[in-house]
Chain A
Amino acid sequence: MAYSDKVIDHYENPRNVGKLDDSEDDVGTGMVGAPACGDVMRLQIKVNADGVIEDAKFKTYGCGSAIASSSLLTEWVKGKRVDEAEQIKNTEIAQELALPPVKIHCSVLAEDAIKAAVANYREKQGKS
């Protein structure tokens, strides 16, 4: 299968790979997917007092398109407010990376990941 240049770029040079401290209240973690399906994404966001995402990290087990989708997502969410970040649509990711139809699910997973990370952050804030 031919990958787009953008997928290859993110795959070769993934942005924001890593892990944030999940025990911190200002960190939201979203883990989506399943090993049996061939992809698992872990997206973490660190949100400042103004509700702005100041850092984002990811790790992804999956195909090149899944890795690229999550890498791109970390770039997009940084500097956005959490309510803006959760508005990101899978179609925007798929379009930016020129994903073929069989890889659309990778972008869907990325959208699920940011939603899950924001939900986790909000849950922690509600508790504190």
Chain B
Amino acid sequence: MTASRVNTPIYLDYLSTTPVDPRVAEAMMACLSPEGNFGNPASRSHVFGWKAEEAVENARCQVAELINADPREIVWTSGATESDNLAIKGAAHFYSKKGKHIITSKIEHKAVLDTCRQLEREGYEVTYLEPDAQGLTTPEAVAAALRDDTVVVSVMHANNEIGVVNDIAGIGEICRASGVIFHVDAAQGAGKVPLDMATMKVDLLSLSAHKMYGPKGIGALYVRRKPRVRIESQMHGGGHERGMRSGTLATHQIVGMGEAARIAREEMAEEAVRLQGLRERFWQGINDIPEVHINGDETQRLPGALNVSFAFVEGESLLMSLKDLAISSGSACTSASLEPSYVLRALGLNDEMAHSSLRFSFGRFTTEADVDYAVGQVHHAVEKLRELSPLWDMYQDGIDLNSIQWAAH
């Protein structure tokens, strides 16, 4: 056992957030002291402002380079939630004369789904696409839902619960051919798998810093210039960011996001190989447990993410057993509603499988020893809970659980 070489709890929840890379922190600290780069980037009358503006513009270039865009296409926001709001409401409002129909998928992040719900209250009509059994939203599905009055399509790049990666280039072709604005929530995928705005026909793309080893509280929205995409601003004020998002720019946050984007771009290829290796090592380690299943497409996915169902054990007790691992349950059953994950339900999982699912996500600071320790813990926990599980007993006795009349409560 490699227990002596790991520090518990082990962080295996990189899809929820990532630690700030020490190189990023260092760049940020240079903006956080009286001697440092503290100026207001909008101050035009002195060197403090000029220096801050230079740092902000440098970061803008770094973020643009990550997605192969023009720096003038990057708008700073407070994070991907704000970017999603600005993109979807901004485009829907601006193009409302053309139509009031929006297409999205059922397994988008809540920042997209709730924004769409708000637009429904304002009189828009929203089509929520069902993903396929692998969790993917296909170009064909989008094409079939397009209408003459469709103004915005919003489909995520990588899913935050199951880690599958959609065919963004393919959906972009469909949208461009129909003259519909295409928004992509790329919070989970950016910096992990390549995104190229020069070849992908994406109009608006949401980015978040804290999913790629940058700080929380900063994000960006890519707004295409050619062909030009217009959005109505949601935050009014001093007219920063070409009037699309007012508010004094947070130099330290922006510098942090820029540095995070630079590191991600330079190290992505190498890191992806390493993370995929860790993911495969983990899966090889646990797939000898009977009745364990991967949720979502096995190949079209983020290198470091895996969502697994452990049949006949319940997710919350599994988490309780795995207290040395910082992971998250696919089910939201710690909430009062006891509702299983809407993402897993949309994939066609029944409630008990959705209740038995865990998300493991590996990242920059995960080691092989961490993975091996996690494998041992998972084995121990699943064996213990199946020993306790009447469902596992019945399964082993050959009883079909679907044949039983359960009393719902």
Contact = CB atoms under 8 A, between A and B. Distances in A.
B320 A64 contact: yes
Interface residues of B, number: 30
Nearest to B336: A102
Given A11-B320, A38-B331, A109 B388 contact: no
Q: Top 8 A-B pairs ranked by shortest CB distance?
A: A34-B406, A36-B351, A35-B352, A42-B390, A63-B316, A59-B390, A64-B320, A61-B389
Given A35-B352, A36-B351, A63-B314, A105 B388 contact: no
A119 B297 CA distance: 47
A41 B317 CA distance: 14
B352 A14 contact: no
A61 B313 contact: yes
Contacts of B312: 61
A34 B401 CA distance: 10
Given A33-B406, A36-B351, A38-B355, A63 B333 contact: yes
Interface string B204-239: 000000000000000000000000000000000000
A63 B338 CA distance: 11
11 contacts: A36-B350, A38-B333, A42-B390, A59-B390, A61-B391, A61-B392, A63-B314, A63-B320, A63-B333, A66-B317, A102-B336
A63 B318 CA distance: 8
Contact of B314 (A31, A61, A101, A109): A61
A60 B406 contact: no
Contact of A34 (B387, B388, B407): B407
Contacts of B334: 1, 102
Contact of B388 (A3, A67, A101): A67
A31 B405 CA distance: 11
A37 B408 contact: yes
A59 B393 contact: yes
Interface in A89-109: 101-102, 105, 108-109
Contact of A41 (B331, B335, B390, B392): B390
Chain A contact residues, majority secondary structure? mixed
Interface in B298-329: 312-317, 320
Contacts of A77: none
Contact of A40 (B333, B335, B391): B391
Contact of A105 (B315, B351, B390, B409): B409
A59 B388 contact: yes
A61 to B, nearest CB: 4
Contacts of A19: 393
Contacts of B335: 102
B383 to A, nearest CB: 13
A37 B406 CA distance: 10
Nearest to B340: A38
Chain A CB within 10 Å — which of B315, B317, B350, B391 has the most?
B317
Given A63-B320, A102-B334, A102-B335, 15 more contacts: A11-B317, A11-B320, A34-B406, A36-B351, A38-B355, A61-B312, A61-B314, A61-B389, A62-B317, A63-B314, A63-B316, A64-B320, A102-B336, A105-B409, A109-B409
A110 interface: no
A27 interface: no
Contacts of A36: 350-352, 406, 408
Interface string B365-409: 000000000000000000000011111110000000100001111
Nearest to B335: A102
A47 to B, nearest CB: 20
A56 B313 CA distance: 22
A39 B314 contact: yes
Interface string A5-46: 000000100100101000000000001111111111110000
A64 B387 CA distance: 14
B407 A33 contact: yes
A108 B409 CA distance: 10
Chain A CB within 10 Å — which of B331, B334, B351, B355 has the most?
B355
